[in-house]
Amino acid sequence: MKPRIGIIPGDPSGIGPELIARLLASEGVAEAADILLIGDAHIFERGQQLAGVQHELIPVDARQGSWSVSGGFAWHETRTITRDAVVKAEATRASGASVLATLDLALDLARDGVIDAVVFAPFNKAALHLAGMEHSDELHYMADRLGVVDYLSELNTLDGLWTSRVTSHIALRDVADAISEERITEAVALIDKTLRRSGLARPRISVAALNPHAGDGGNFGREEIDVIEPAVRRLAGGQMAVDGPWPSDTVFLKAVAGEIDGIVTMYHDQGQIALKLLGFDRGVTVQGGMPFPVTTPAHGTAFDIAGLGKADVGATLAAFQLACDMVENWRDA
């Protein structure tokens, strides 16, 4: 049975619709999964125009449960925003509301078992906030809607290297106080579980330090000694292959050398700088802690090139392929 992947086009003001059109035209995609497109007609039309491709969209009502089609892509039509309300390269309340409406529907369909996974093209957080989203990011919005109370973290992945973070979208001055043994333990457990679900039997995980030179023996900060080392020691005594804390300017080299599969970072930019440097066009974000796979390209709406027809599909393709892999392993797990 092929994975059933729900796809939403993301913020209509950005490059999302173009990316989805390019994704559907990419080699092997139509064959790899049963794809359900969820979104407005004019948004998919515009994406195809920009990408210079044409797809046959076959209307279905996915709420009925069975929606498989042949000879085109199944399409559950929504009417979330008028054509005129789409403003290129601007974060608007209307575009945010459109995203939330399609996202809600996709989540409902996945929760009800009508699709196995959700892939979304980039959202714009400012637009989501304008549209009334009160959560710090879409991950917490989704979890709230689905009633998930487990530990949540964005996971980022590139060419087989995974990162999770102990803190995410918070001010740098608040990071050190937010680091605790409990949160480190949760972040390690989440990346371990997610890596297993991506097909690795025993993921090798390294934990990054918080301070420069891993604190240099307490000279530049004591969190390594007081918090991170005890957490890692305790985890390493259990079932997981975990070590650290490693200085964050060299831990990525261990990953590049293939010595480890995952890195638990302490804060947002610690992981994102290296990952985006190593493969800006290929990185994927996984919404960790959700009851089904949810993936998206790691880049944003790219307003600077929206509407120009030159968006690179690489990361979106990687997000789609990862969602397919995760569905397979999710079934086995």
Given its phi and psi angles, is residue 331 left (phi above 0), alpha (psi -120 to 50 degrees) or beta?
A: alpha
Nearest to 312 by CA among 286, 280, 287: 280
For residues 35 to 74, the per-residue mask of contacts with other proteins, x marking binding by CB under 8 A and - elsewhere, is ----------------------------------------
Please choose, out of 6-14, 28-36, 74-82, 216-224, the segment that lies near other proteins by the rule CB under 8 A: 216-224
Contact 289, 165 (CB under 8 A): no
Return the number of the residue (132 or 212) whose C-beta is nearest other proteins. 212
Q: And the tokens for 195?
A: 């890596």
- State the Cα–Cα distance between residues 190 and 206, nearest whole angstrom: 13
Q: Half-sphere exposure of residue 132, counting CA atoms within 13 Å on the CB side?
A: 6
Stretch that binds other proteins, among 1-9, 79-87, 97-105, 205-213 (CB under 8 A): 205-213
Min dist. Cβ of residue 269 to other proteins (A): 5
Is there binding between residue 159 and other proteins (CB under 8 A)? no
Q: Evaluate whether 264 touches 251 at the Cβ level (below 8 Å).
A: no
Q: CB of residue 87 vs other proteins: minimum separation in angstroms?
A: 18
- Residue of 2, 42, 193, 222 interacting with other proteins (CB under 8 A): 222
Candidate list 38, 94, 115, 175; residue touching other proteins; CB under 8 A: 175
As given in the structure block, the two tokens for residue 312 are 């690179």
d(CA 6, CA 280): 24
| Window of 59-67, 95-103, 115-123, 249-257 that interacts with other proteins by CB under 8 A | 249-257
Rg for the chain, CA atoms, rounded = 20
Query: Residue 272 CB, nearest distance to other proteins (Å)?
Result: 3
Strands 161-165, 153-158: pairing is antiparallel
Which spans of this chain sit near other proteins (rule: CB under 8 A)? 125-126, 129, 136, 168-177, 210-213, 215-216, 219-223, 248-250, 252-253, 256, 266-270, 272-278, 280, 299
